[in-house]
Amino acid sequence: MSEAERSLMRQRLNAGRLRKVQRGEYVQRLPTGLVRLSDQRVIKDPDQQIQHVIGLVLSKFEELGSAFQVLRYCKKQGILLPRRHGSGVGPDHVRWRRPSEATIRAILTNPAYAGAFVHGRRTSDPRRQSPGRRTPVMVRRPMAEWQCIIQNAYPASISWTQYLANQARLRDNTPRYMEPTDRGRALRGRFFVRF
C-alpha cells in the first residue's frame, strides 16, 4: 500500500471518528467515578466510596484553592484515591493509591466530572518526537481548540460553571517563573521548595 493510500485511509477514519464525536456517539474511556453500562448509558460508579472520594477532592479544591493544598489534606488524612483498571465494574477493578499532585490535577481538569463529553483535549506534537519512539508525544490543547464539547452528557459531580472557575484558579496557581517576562526570566533557574 502506498503512502498516499495510507494517508487517505487515515483521513477517512479520522473524519468518520469526528462525525461520531459530533453526534455524541463516540465511546471513549471514562475517568474513575463514571461507569458505562452495557446499553452504553453512563452512570456514577455504584461504589459509594469512589463517589465520596472524587467529590471530596472537588469540594476540597473549592475550599482550599489549590491542588497542592488538596494533596496535603489527603496525605494528612490518609485518604487514598481510586484508580480504575480495565473496563469492569466492582472492587476487583479498582486500585486505591496514595495521592499525588498529578492524580489530583487529573481529577480537577477532567471535564467529565462536570458532565461534559469532550474530544480533542490532546494532540500529537511532531516537534517533540524522539527517535525510536513509536507513538507520538501528546500535548494538551487550550480549551478554545477542543474539537467537541457536549455538556450534560454524563452525570455531573460539579457544574460546568464550577469547572470553568476551577480551571481559571488552576491557571492562576501556575508558577509564573516559566512566563517569558522580565520577572519570569529573573525567577527562572531558582529552586522552589514546597511545604
Average pLDDT over residues 34-61: 93
Classify residue 69: in a domain, yes or no. yes
Judge if 56 and 72 occupy the same domain.
yes
Say if residue 92 is in the same domain as residue 136. Answer: no
Residue 94 has pLDDT above 90, yes or no: no
The total of other beta-carbon atoms located within 10 Å of residue 118's CB is 19
Is pLDDT above 50 for 193? no
| Domain annotation covers residue 74 | yes
Query: What span, in angstroms and rounded, lies between the C-alpha atoms of 157 and 55?
Result: 7
pLDDT computed for residue 12 by the predictor: 79
Instruction: Identify the CA nearest to 173 among candidates 190, 149, 160, 192.
Output: 192
The gap from C-alpha 93 to its chain's centroid, in whole angstroms, comes to 20
What's the mean pLDDT when you consider all of the chain? 82
Return the higher-pLDDT residue of 189 and 108: 108
Q: What is the pLDDT of residue 86?
A: 65
Same domain, 97 and 169: yes
Q: What is the number of domains present in the chain?
A: 2
What share of the chain has pLDDT > 90, as a percent?
45
Instruction: Provide mean pLDDT across the span 91-99.
Output: 84
Alpha helices (H) along the chain: 3-23, 48-64, 67-77, 101-109, 160-173, 182-187
Do 60 and 130 fall into the same domain? Answer: no
Which domain range does residue 133 map to? Answer: 117-150
Confidence (pTM): 0.76
